[in-house]
A and B are shown apart, each in its own frame.
Chain A
Amino acid sequence: MTDDKDVLRDVWFGRIPTCFTLYQDEITEREAEPYYLLLPRVSYLTLVTDKVKKHFQKAMRQEDVSEIWFEYEGTPLKWHYPIGLLFDLLASSSALPWNITVHFKSFPEKDLLHCPSKDAVEAHFMSCMKEADALKHKSQVINEMQKKDHKQLWMGLQNDRFDQFWAINRKLMEYPPEENGFRYIPFRIYQTTTERPFIQKLFRPVAADGQLHTLGDLLREVCPSALAPEDGEKKNQVMIHGIEPMLETPLQWLSEHLSYPDNFLHISIVPQPTD
Chain B
Amino acid sequence: MEDEFFGEKSFQHYCAEFIKHSQQIGDGWEWRTAKECSDGYMCKTQFQIKNGTTASHLGTPASVHACLPTEEDLELAVDGSEVMESTTASEVIKYEYHVLYSCSYQVPVLYFRASFLDGRPLALKDIWEGVHECYKTRLLQGPWDTITQQNCQLHHIMAEHRGASCWSESISELC
Contact = CB atoms under 8 A, between A and B. Distances in A.
Interface of A: 78, 80, 109-114, 116, 119-120, 122-124, 127, 130-131, 134-135, 138-139, 186, 188, 194-202
Q: For the complex of A and B, list the 4 residue pairs with the smallest distance between their C-beta atoms, beginning with the closest.
A: A123-B144, A131-B104, A202-B103, A134-B104
Contacts of A116: 124
Nearest to A143: B164
Given A116-B124, A196-B35, A138 B149 contact: no
Contacts of A135: 104
Interface string B17-57: 00000000000000000111100000000000000000000
Interface string B117-148: 00111011000000000000000000011001
Given A122-B144, A131-B105, A196 B151 contact: no
Interface centre among B37, B119, B121, B144 (most CB of A within 10 A): B144
Given A116-B124, A194-B36, A196-B36, A124 B105 contact: no
Interface stretch (B77-85, B89-97, B152-160): B152-160
Given A109-B120, A134-B105, A199-B153, 9 more contacts: A109-B121, A123-B145, A123-B148, A123-B149, A127-B148, A131-B104, A134-B164, A139-B164, A197-B152
Q: Interface centre among B34, B104, B124, B163, by most A CB within 10 Å?
A: B104
B103 A200 contact: yes
**Interface class of chain A by DSSP:** loop
A116 B127 CA distance: 14
Nearest to B8: A202
A80 B104 contact: no
B6 to A, nearest CB: 13
A127 B158 CA distance: 16
Q: By CB atoms of chain A within 10 A, which of B124, B151, B163 has the most?
A: B151
A200 B34 CA distance: 14
Contacts of B149: 80, 113, 120, 123-124
A130 B35 contact: no
Contacts of A111: 156
Contact of B156 (A120, A124, A197): A197
A199 B148 CA distance: 20
A124 B153 CA distance: 15
A136 B148 CA distance: 21
27 contacts: A80-B151, A109-B121, A110-B158, A111-B156, A113-B149, A113-B151, A113-B158, A114-B123, A114-B124, A116-B124, A122-B144, A123-B144, A123-B148, A123-B149, A124-B148, A127-B163, A131-B105, A131-B164, A138-B1, A188-B153, A195-B155, A196-B35, A196-B36, A197-B151, A200-B103, A200-B104, A200-B153
Contacts of B151: 78, 80, 113, 197
A113 B150 CA distance: 8
Nearest to B116: A109
B36 to A, nearest CB: 6
A196 B124 contact: no
Nearest to A112: B158
Nearest to B119: A110
Nearest to A201: B103
Nearest to B148: A127
B60 to A, nearest CB: 25
Nearest to A114: B124
